[in-house]
Structure 1
């Protein structure tokens, strides 16, 4: 781990240290900002004591990061357009990372201070879009090329649809619980339980369900939001210490062979579909022009790009045997090949079998570039887990008492948590980033409507305003910081 500082100048080493510190600070803040939502219902319903709940939640967040995979991590990374990823340099990467993290941290701390359940995911995506737009404006790049528009739309749709799903499904789950469990115990508020039954805690099985679903939300929060931190750290490492991280230097000879074989099979697939791909790829092209100053990925160059990769990897058993320049070239070529394959997979004339083969080949192409060292995963898991154990009170009060006009019942807490855990878990498996805050808050609102409790529209208005303003504020803030930073490099 510490050998990544070897060979760096004092300034670059210090920049790397602070960049990593900023990412971990973002994840720490994310812990107490977002995970408060995971424990809000279990604390409010007195199923667990506050400190037990946040410690347990921290542990489950930690486990979620460890076991969550990397699908969401690289969904975040690929919000940056491929040409920006191809040409990221040490200084340029430093400005990019500090700009987007500073913007994200400022907005997260501000909304937490005022007890507003705003989304860290939304904040991070806005900050990433801000640096992309600023980079496009600075370099005279068209907006549709300066931002990975397709990926941005997919992620924004995920962020928009998931709260609506949370609202509707939680309401239906509550109505189902009311139909199945007609007794009053499960449908009481903590205050009613104490006043009528003289007991502070929920009934046993209700309590077990509340605790289990809260830990489920914590686990899937770690698996989804923790991956975003992993993606950010990999951006830092690739940008500031490319010699060690542009490729997975621990890749086996077998993995490198699979990458090479995938490139050969892609070339064959393109040639077999020459007529269908003529509008995108020049199959007969054998050489490409590399513009001075930067590498630009052009789908028309698919065949010469594959040939260049095969030439680079010829006789290569380990990436450590390559020079830094060669490692950079291999990464650029792999990213470019994957980007072209992704475009090809969207061509309607291609058969479903060819599209399936493309998907499998893309996994082999990116196997040695989309990775994360184990220490990165542990560091993010610790930051998120420790952050969970602090600063939770403000958000718990908002979720528990300020969304509905009446206090939350046990059945409402269960409905909201089961819905949130399921929705976020599905999103993590499919590699889509969603907001724990938005899903759980909307699920609570859904149960309030289904229970005919009514909503406190002042709180709903505040949450909606935070949702509306998060993107423009973070885009302007991170974009402005990025622009200022580029003036000094």
Structure 2
């Protein structure tokens, strides 16, 4: 496979893979510091033990978290961007996206500002999409879903954490959980157990969500540079593709009986094309690309049909998902392991700057046991739902830091927050998307000039 690449493309592949792994490494110590901040500042676990535990569970989260979010990341880019003959243009997009995300993530980490890797990455993807083919080149349907999840998740984190703290104060008689740590003494065993459990939950769910973003990025690189092997699922044969398509066609025909004839006309041409391409015993490179393009176009056109026939989506979506799983929606095990290792190792390095901000600079009082557990429990639930139910990327940083803020507000109101820190976090939240969009557009034009 690699021996067929020119020297220049092989170098580009290595650089791109290294950049993806480096992005995920930064993501580890930038975002996962949020997970360990509460157990460190409540004296539940020593820092070294906490980051190792978090690193291991981040690895597990990536490995067992599926690839739903990863596929969402891939689908944000224009359909034809990585499947054209000019591989250098596609790689200019990927490099621009990675460089802009790394620059912003590293800069905010250096300043100790909790910033969202998710916002950064989504902004970078939107930026290269706009730079490549204008505003119309972006999958705005998917982008709006992602944008809404990124916008609402921190508000949900703040509100639910505040509500949970209020409920705890009204229902829990043991006031020990509302106290700050006593010197270097660890909390009672039952409190430690709760805090370790919630820290573990945030770490695992972070891996299952943010780790998948790295999986999606690495798949973009592989699809762009090695489409002959990765445009379609290499674990399956042409016969597997044929069987999956035959099942898809059979079920679509059954569903079509309940709807007007015009309902499935928008995808008729692509279905015909797939039928022709998959009739062959061996697929050429260009044909593998065309099959992937057709599958993506079918999904896009079906989404438009859902608006006209609201009952259609529930019936067609699982049928299409099953077909895509056999053809375009996949990630090799080695990709998942590589990203899991990068995220897990990154978790154990450079965590201190963000931990200090979360533990000391959001609220005016020291973090209590109840506040730490409440913020992490809400973060675990929110990220978990986003990953496993909706397959949408969310920001661990924003959910947890806003959760900590919510617990502080529930105690003594807004006056319990440190204004300077809140302003810095809010400013980073507001600037991340536009700055990352702008950076990626600049990087894309630079790389396009150099590479093409």
Structure-to-structure mapping, 1:349-360, within 5 angstroms: 352=311, 354-360=312-318
How far did 1:355 drift?
Answer: 2.8
Matching residue within 385, 396, 401 for 1:441: 401
Change (3 A) 1:82 1:23: same
Q: Is the contact made by 2:83 and 2:224 (CA closer than 8 Å) also made in structure 1? A: no
Note the alpha carbon deviations across 1:421-452, whole angstroms, 9 max, x for none. 11101100120100000000000000001111
Matching residue within 127, 141, 148 for 2:139: 148
Q: Distance in 1 between matches of 2:121 and 2:347?
A: 18
> Are 2:225 and 1:210 aligned?
no
1:346 partner SS: helix
Q: Identify the residue that residue 257 of structure 1 maps to in structure 2.
A: 243
> Are 2:225 and 1:240 aligned?
yes
Q: Distance in 1 between matches of 2:283 and 2:240?
A: 17
> Are 2:346 and 1:346 aligned?
no
2:308 partner SS: coil
Q: Identify the residue that residue 154 of structure 2 maps to in structure 1.
A: 163
Q: Identify the residue that residue 463 of structure 1 maps to in structure 2.
A: 425
Q: Distance in 2 between matches of 1:122 and 1:88?
A: 30
Note the alpha carbon deviations across 1:90-118, whole angstroms, 9 max, x for none. 21221111101000000001000000000
Unaligned runs of 5+ in 2: none
Q: Distance in 1 between matches of 2:336 and 2:156?
A: 30
Structure-to-structure mapping, 1:390-405, within 5 angstroms: 390-405=349-364
1:365 partner SS: helix
Q: Identify the residue that residue 312 of structure 1 maps to in structure 2.
A: 277
How far did 1:275 drift?
Answer: 5.3
Q: Distance in 2 between matches of 1:99 and 1:315?
A: 37
Q: Distance in 1 between matches of 2:248 and 2:283?
A: 20
Q: Distance in 1 between matches of 2:330 and 2:103?
A: 29
Structure-to-structure mapping, 1:168-187, within 5 angstroms: 168-187=159-178
Q: Identify the residue that residue 477 of structure 1 maps to in structure 2.
A: 439
Q: Identify the residue that residue 88 of structure 2 maps to in structure 1.
A: 91
Q: Is the contact made by 2:37 and 2:358 (CA closer than 8 Å) also made in structure 1? A: yes
Q: Distance in 2 between matches of 1:267 and 1:304?
A: 15
> Are 2:380 and 1:421 aligned?
yes
How far did 1:357 drift?
Answer: 2.1
Q: Distance in 2 between matches of 1:271 and 1:188?
A: 64
Q: Distance in 2 between matches of 1:358 and 1:170?
A: 37
Q: Distance in 1 between matches of 2:349 and 2:279?
A: 52
Unaligned runs of 5+ in 1: 138-142, 284-299
Q: Is the contact made by 2:70 and 2:214 (CA closer than 8 Å) also made in structure 1? A: yes
Q: Is the contact made by 2:79 and 2:293 (CA closer than 8 Å) also made in structure 1? A: no
Q: Identify the residue that residue 361 of structure 1 maps to in structure 2.
A: 319
Q: Distance in 1 between matches of 2:302 and 2:322?
A: 12
Structure-to-structure mapping, 1:73-92, within 5 angstroms: 73-84=70-81, 86-87=83-84, 89-92=86-89
Q: Distance in 1 between matches of 2:303 and 2:433?
A: 27
| Aligned pairs, number | 446
Q: Is the contact made by 2:116 and 2:397 (CA closer than 8 Å) also made in structure 1? A: yes
How far did 1:84 drift?
Answer: 3.4
CA RMSD of aligned residues (A): 1.7
Q: Distance in 1 between matches of 2:92 and 2:249?
A: 34
**Which TM-score applies when normalising by structure 1?**
0.88
Q: Distance in 2 between matches of 1:89 and 1:246?
A: 15
Q: Distance in 1 between matches of 2:133 and 2:31?
A: 31
Matching residue within 346, 350, 364 for 1:387: 346
Q: Distance in 1 between matches of 2:343 and 2:258?
A: 48
Q: Distance in 2 between matches of 1:436 and 1:82?
A: 28
Structure number with greater Rg is 1
How far did 1:339 drift?
Answer: 1.8
Q: Identify the residue that residue 287 of structure 1 maps to in structure 2.
A: none
1:110 partner SS: helix
1:451 partner SS: helix
> Are 2:291 and 1:330 aligned?
yes
Q: Identify the residue that residue 291 of structure 1 maps to in structure 2.
A: none
Q: Identify the residue that residue 292 of structure 1 maps to in structure 2.
A: none
Q: Is the contact made by 1:260 and 1:313 (CA closer than 8 Å) also made in structure 2? A: no
Structure-to-structure mapping, 1:183-198, within 5 angstroms: 183-190=174-181, 193-194=182-183
Q: Identify the residue that residue 5 of structure 1 maps to in structure 2.
A: 2
Q: Is the contact made by 1:345 and 1:358 (CA closer than 8 Å) also made in structure 2? A: no
